[in-house]
Amino acid sequence: MRTLTAEIVTDKNKLIMPHFVVEGRGVREEIPSMPGITRISVDNLVRDVEQDMHLGVRQVLLFGIPAVKDDRGSGANDRNGIVQRAVRELKKAFPDLLIITDVCLCEYTDHGHCGVVSGDRVQNDPSLELLADTALSHAEAGADIVAPSDMMDGRVGAIRRVLDDSGHTEIPILSYAAKYSSSFYGPFRDAAGSAPQFGDRKTYQMDFRNSREALKEVFLDIEEGADIVMVKPALAYLDIISSVREHVDLPLCAYNVSGEYSMVKLMGSNGYADEWGLVAEILTSIFRAGADMIISYHTRDVFRYNIL
Ligand code: PBG
């Protein structure tokens, strides 16, 4: 009876599994700050995705970690870069897999910022061309959706123009529209080696005191051509998810980020709480707030242990 009267229905098929891809063969490195998540080379990625697909996972988000980083993030739009190769191999092996790629420079720059830097300043406009070309290189490799996470102003429009001009009119943009400057990204930056080497990301990511600004960011991205908008992080931002849901008809994605994942893992492994109970409650709360889809490092566990 409780199931019959429950106000929302949750669905595992609305979860997206992130992966960290590195150079080499046979590589599988534990990420100490994210128990259960590894950095893997493309061959192991294909193997893991195959197993995940048997469990039922249908969509992935890819992050590339290049062997060398430089000041302009040249690895990001390299046609033979780590993400581009990962996409090609995955598409070849699993034509039905939905592949989303993270479009950003911070994993590729030696300074760790999400855009081009001059002096001690991140340069918004000079970053756009590089970001748009990175998105194009992902589309050329076979990505189904590109997801810019850099938070430079104008990047959704720049990406849309470049995709359209080169015939990729059918590739949607999932924009990290309301992305807050957050301590919850700590474990991710450890995983990707992408912590900024100077300053912080507060000049381009949002201030967590602001909620009206989130709507402004979302509407700007929609005007520029975003097809799906994202709120990130999720857990401390359920009010933002709910307000975007109220004002926007586009599909809404929420990112259950690394710090949210690791908190649950630590509580679970210490026996402080029932881990699967926490996962079910957290993911359900994000759906209840209004998200249509969730990017979550718990995705594999949700399928494996039938959590939702
Ligand atoms: C890159 C990016 C970040 C995350 C996704 N894309 C890190 C950041 O902005 O510092 C965070 C994801 C997570 O914490 O799980 N810009």
pLDDT tens digit string along 229-241? 999 999 999 999 9
Q: Among the atoms of ligand 1, which is closest to the Cα of residue 195?
A: 10
Instruction: For the beta carbon of residue 150, count every other beta carbon within 10 angstroms.
Output: 26
* Cα–Cα dist 163/213, whole Å: 28
Average pLDDT over residues 181-207: 93
Q: What is the pLDDT of residue 193?
A: 87
* Cα–Cα dist 99/104, whole Å: 16
Q: Which residues line ligand 1 (CB under 6 A)?
A: 102, 104, 106, 114, 149-150, 185, 188-189, 257-258
Ligand 1 center–CA 185 separation, angstroms: 6
Average pLDDT over residues 84-98: 98
Average pLDDT over residues 32-42: 97
Q: Per the structure block, which two tokens stand in for 162?
A: 């470049």
Please state the length of the chain.
Answer: 308
Instruction: Report the largest interatomic distance among the alpha carbons of the chain, rounded to a whole angstrom.
Output: 63
Q: Which of 188-197, 256-265, 268-277 has the lowest mean pLDDT?
A: 188-197
Tell me whether residue 138 is in a domain. Answer: yes
Tell me whether residue 98 is in a domain. Answer: yes
Is the per-residue pLDDT at 62 higher than 90? yes
Q: Which of 100, 104, 109, 203 to mutate to test the pocket of ligand 1 (most atoms within 8 A of CB)?
A: 104
Ligand 1 center–CA 6 separation, angstroms: 33
Tell me whether residue 40 is in a domain. Answer: yes
Is the per-residue pLDDT at 102 higher than 90? yes
% of the chain residues with pLDDT over 70: 100
Residue partners of 107: CB distance under 8 A and separation at least 6: 63, 64, 65, 66, 69, 73, 75, 76, 192, 193, 194
Average pLDDT over residues 108-137: 95
Do residues 149 and 143 touch, judged by C-beta distance below 8 A? no
Average pLDDT over residues 107-133: 94
Tell me whether residue 18 is in a domain. Answer: yes
Is 179 in the active site? yes
Count: domains in the chain = 1
Tell me whether residue 298 is in a domain. Answer: yes
Residue in 291, 307, 166, 191 with CA at minimum distance from that of residue 232? 291
% of the chain residues with pLDDT over 90: 97
Do residues 144 and 99 touch, judged by C-beta distance below 8 A? yes
* Domain range enclosing 72: 12-304
* Cα–Cα dist 284/14, whole Å: 11
Distances in Å between the Cα of 233 and the Cα atoms of 11, 238, 305 are 20, 9, 24
Tell me whether residue 62 is in a domain. Answer: yes
Distance linking the first and last C-alpha atoms of the chain = 17
Ligand 1 center–CA 3 separation, angstroms: 35
The 10s digit of each residue's pLDDT in 152-171 is: 999 999 999 999 999 999 99
Is 91 in the active site? no
Tell me whether residue 224 is in a domain. Answer: yes
Is the per-residue pLDDT at 110 higher than 90? yes
Residue partners of 55: CB distance under 8 A and separation at least 6: 300, 303, 304
Over the chain, what HEC string results?
A: CHHHHCCCCCCHHHEEEEEEEECCCCCEEECCCCCCCEEEEHHHHHHHHHHHHHHCCCEEEEEEECCCCECCCCCCCCCCCHHHHHHHHHHHHCCCCEEEEEECCCCCECCCCCCEEECCEEEHHHHHHHHHHHHHHHHHHCCCEEEECCCCCCHHHHHHHHHHHCCCCCCCEEEEEEEECCHHHHHHHHHHCCCCCCCCCCCCCECCCCCHHHHHHHHHHHHHCCCEEEEECCHHHHHHHHHHHHHCCCCEEEEECHHHHHHHHHHHHCCCCCHHHHHHHHHHHHHHHCCCEEEECCHHHHHHCCCC
Q: Is the dihedral of CA 44, 110, 129, 152 positive or negative?
A: positive
Q: What is the pLDDT of residue 69?
A: 95
CATH of the domain at 233: 3.20.20.70
Average pLDDT over residues 236-247: 98
Q: What is the pLDDT of residue 134?
A: 98
Tell me whether residue 145 is in a domain. Answer: yes
Q: Specify the residue with its C-alpha closest to ligand 1, atom 7.
A: 185
Ligand 1 center–CA 186 separation, angstroms: 9
